[in-house]
Amino acid sequence: MPTMQPKSLFAIISRSLVIYSILVSLIFLVGILSLYRMRLEEQRFDAADRINLLLQVSLENAMLKRDIDGLQEIVERLGKQSGIEAVMILNPAGEVRFASRPNLLARKFDLKAGDLCTECKWNGRDQIERNDILPSGIEAPIPVLRSVKSVANRAECTQCHGEMRENPVNGLLVVDHSAQDLKRNALIGSLVLVGSGLLVVLGLVAGIYRVLKVHVLTPVAHLTAASAELAAGNLDRRVALTGGSEVIGLGNSFNTMASRLQASLVELGARERFVQGLLETLPDGVRVIDEDFRIVMANGAYRRQTRQGEIEPPDTFCYHSSHRRSEPCAHTLVTCPIHALRGKTEPIKFHARHVRTDGEEVSVEVHAARLTINGLDGPRALVIEVIRDLETEMQVSHEQRLSELGQLATGVAHEIRNPLSSVAILLSDAETSLRKGKAFDPAPWIGLISQEVGRCLTITDSLLKLGTPPDAEHHLIVLDDILQEVLSLLRFQAEEARVTVRLETDEQVRVVGSDSDQRIVMINLIQNAFHAMPGGGVLSITLRRTGNGMIAASFADTGVGIPPEDISYIFMPFWSRRADDVRGTGLGLSICRSIIRKLKGDIRVASAVGVGTTFTLLLPDADHETGGSA
C-alpha cells in the first residue's frame, strides 16, 4: 500500500487561510446582505407608508368634498408614477371602487381568505396596515411590495358610511410598488460588498501570509533543512532563528538537542573504539555473534586466525567465517554456541576445527558465554566467543622450550669443553713424551685427567638430575649444592647475557622434596632474571636459614621491574610479558608456585619499575624439623 507524502506546512497554512477566509467572508457576506436587504425593505416600507398616508389624505379630502372624479384622477396619476404598479381603493366588502387601471374596477377580493396577501386576512372591522413583498403583482408576474392600509370611519363620514360603531372602517387602500429595483439594488449592493470583502480578505490573507512566512514558515524551513543535514550526519549543523520568543526558543532547543546528540554520538564512538581497542589487546581471537548468526564485532587476533587480513572485516555470518559454509552448522554434528547456550547462563568450553580463508584447517579451543543487552528494539541476545589457536600455542610453546633447551645445551657444552680440552692437552703431551722416549712420572698427569673427567661427570650428572621425573616420595636434598650445580649449567648463558651472578649461601641448607623439581624452580627464576635484564646487570642470590623453621632463597635482579598493575597476573598460567620482547609460554612462574606450595612453602615477589625484582622462596627447613643434621 503506497504511503501518502505529508503536505508541506506552506501548503497547509495557505489552504487553511484561503478556506477559512472564504468561509468567514461568506458568513459575513450573508449577514451583511441580510441586513442590507432588511434596510432596503425598511426604506421601501417607509416610502410606501408615506405614499399611503398621502393617498389617504387625498382620499379623505376628495370624499369630504364628494369629488369622485378628482379622487379617480388622483388614483390614476399615482398609478402612473415610477415604481407604482397599481393603486386600488376597496370597500369593506372587498370590491374595487377606484383603481389606477380600468380593468381593476369592480374586481372583488375575498379579504377574509387573504386574497390580497397571505398575512392580510381581514374581518372587515379591525384596522389593518401591512407591507409585504409578494412574488407577483395583480397585473404583472413581477415581485411587488404590496401596501395595505385601512381607512377609519370618522364623524365627518357617517352621512355616507353610517355610524362608526356599525362601520368602523370605510375601506382599504392598496398600493403595489415594484420590487424589481429592490432586488436590483440588493444585487448591486451585494456585488459591491462581495468585491469589497474580497479585497479585504485578499489583503488580510496577504498580510497574514507575510507575517507567517517571515515569522513561522521561513524559520521552520531553516529548521527543516538543518534537521535534514543533522539526519544526514552533519553533527555540526546549528540554526540561528529570528522572530518571536517561541521561534527563538525552538531554535535554541534544536541547537541543544543537536549538541547533546553530537556529544552522545562522540561518547558512543569513543566507547566503541575503547571496546574494540580492548578486544585488540587480547592475544586470543574474540568475536561477538547475534541470534541471526551475524558477526557483530571481532578483533584482529580472530582475523589473523582466519587469515582475513588486518583491514578486511570478518564475514557477515559466523558459519561462513569460521567453517566456510553457506548455511548454519548442524548443531547435532558440531557444537554451535548459539544453540548450546540457549536457556543457559553458564559459559561453555569446547574444541572445534576452524577453516581459514585458504582452506587450511586449524584446531581451536572456544570459550563461549551468553550476553543479553537492552536495545531500542528490546532485549538482544549475543554470544561472545574467545578462540584460542591450539596449534599456534603448541608451536610457540615448543619453540620456546627448544630455545631454552638450546641455551642450556650451549652452557653445558661450554662447561664440558674446558675440562675435555685440558684432558686432550695432557694426553697429547703424554703421547709426545712416549714417542720421544722421554721418561716422565704419569701420576700427576693421571690425577689432572681424573679431576677434569670428574668435572664433566658432575655436569652430566646435574643435567641427568634435571631431566629425571620427580619421585612420588620426597627425599632430603641439599639446596646449596643444587644451586651451585644449576649455576654451573647456566654460567655460559649468564656470560652471554652480560649478567654478573653473586651468590651467598649457608652450608648444608636442606629441605625435603624432589631434586628435579627444585632444579626446575631455580632454573626458571634465574632465567627469568636474565630475561628481565636485556642489557645486562647483576643477579644476587642468597640462601639463608630464617631461624623460625624456614629457609629463604632470594633472587634479586637489577632489571626493568614489573609494573604494579601486572603483579597480580604474573603467576597466572599462560600470562607472559618479557622485557626482551620474546613471547614466553607463561607457565614458568605458575609451575614454580605449584611446586613450592606442594612443599608447604610460599613464593613472594617485590618489584619496582626501573629498579629490579626480587623473588623469595620460603621452604620448610628439614634440619629444623629433625632437630639437627642428618
| DSSP label of 6 | P
477 contacts 509 by C-beta, under 8 angstroms: no
pLDDT, tens digit (0-9, with 9 covering 90-100), for 520-540: 889 889 988 998 898 899 999
Band of the pLDDT at 82, cuts 50, 70, 90? confident
Residue with more model confidence, 77 or 440: 77
- Nine-digit cell string for 308: 582475513
pLDDT of residue 434: 66
**Rg value, the chain, Cα:** 63
Tell me which residue of 605, 465, 627, 479 sits closest to 542, measured CA to CA.
479
pLDDT at residue 385 greater than cutoff 60: yes
Please, what is the average pLDDT of the chain?
76
Q: Which CATH architecture has domain 474-630?
A: 2-Layer Sandwich (3.30)
* Residue-level pLDDT at 6: 60
pLDDT surpasses 90 at 606: yes
- For the cut 50, the answer to whether the pLDDT of residue 395 exceeds it is no
Computed from CA positions of residues 66, 68, 73, 78, in that sequence, does the dihedral angle turn out positive or negative? Answer: positive
pLDDT tens by residue, 423-441: 665 566 666 666 766 665 6
Q: Specify the pLDDT at position 201.
A: 73
Strand-pairing partners, residue 612, are 608
- pLDDT of 38 reads 67
Q: From CA 1, how far away is CA 622, in angstroms rounded?
A: 91
Which residue type does 226 have?
Answer: A
Residue spans of beta strands (DSSP E) within 468-507: 475-478, 499-505
What is 275-388's CATH topology?
Beta-Lactamase (3.30.450)
Q: Does residue 294 register a pLDDT over 50? A: yes
> What is the residue-wise DSSP string for 277-345?
HHHHT-SSEEEEEETTSBEEEE-HHHHHHHT--SSSPPPSBHHHHHH--SS---TTTS--HHHHTTT--
Domain covering 14-185 assigned CATH 3.30.450.20 in the classification: yes
For residue 629, is pLDDT > 50?
no
SS (H, E, C) 155-195: HHHHHHHCCCCCCCEEEEEEEEEECHHHHHHHHHHHHHHHH
CB 193 within 8 A of CB 33: yes
Q: Comparing 148-152, 182-186, 359-363, 527-531, which segment has the lowest mean pLDDT? A: 182-186
Cell digits of residue 512: 625435603
Residue 452 confidence (pLDDT): 61
Question: Which uninterrupted H or E stretch holds 555?
Answer: strand 550-557
% of the chain exceeding 70 in pLDDT: 70
Q: Which of 27, 26, 59, 83 is nearest to 161 (CA)?
A: 59
Q: Any idea which residue has 561453555 for its cell? A: 348
Sign of CA dihedral 131, 148, 100, 115: positive
pLDDT at 1: 44
Q: Nearest CA to 241 among 225, 218, 261, 209? A: 218
Structure confidence by residue, pLDDT tens digits, 179-224: 776 666 666 766 776 777 777 777 877 877 777 777 777 787 887 8
* pLDDT, greater one: 494 or 143: 494
